[in-house]
């Protein structure tokens, strides 16, 4: 089972958890009580549909997650930025959260 290390960009707190191979990052983080959202976006989001872009994260290494989806391309994401709701985890990763204002 891959290990996900989450770095909160607001508080500097770091937490880790295990996720099933190919599991959805947003769903697993919420299940573990870890929020990817900043401020009111915690409550005002699209609930994993990919339309709002508020679950934006930075992922390292990108080799251990799926490539950018069409939804992420519509949001003009590139490099190591992904939407948590569109991220499938296939290996150990480090994620920086709460990037969107």
Nearest 5°: the CA angle 63, 84, 58 is 55
Q: What's the confidence (pLDDT) of residue 101?
A: 59
CA distance 46 to 57: 16
Quick one: tokens of 61? 């290494």
pLDDT tens by residue, 48-94: 999 999 999 999 999 999 999 999 999 999 999 999 999 999 999 99
User: Domain map of the chain by residue range?
Assistant: 3-97
Superfamily of domain 3-97: Beta-grasp domain (3.10.20.30)
Tell whether pTM > 0.95.
no
């Amino acid at each position: 089972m891959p290990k996900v290390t989450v770095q909160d960009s607001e508080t500097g707190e770091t937490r880790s958890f295990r996720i099933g191979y190919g599991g959805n990052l947003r769903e697993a983080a919420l299940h573990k009580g870890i929020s990817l959202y900043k401020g009111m976006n915690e409550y005002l989001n699209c609930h994993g549909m990919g339309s709002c872009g508020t679950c934006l994260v930075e992922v390292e290494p990108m080799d251990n997650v799926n490539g950018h989806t069409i939804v992420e391309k519509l949001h003009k994401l590139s490099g190591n930025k992904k939407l948590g709701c569109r991220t499938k985890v296939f290996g150990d990763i480090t994620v920086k959260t709460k990037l969107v204002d």
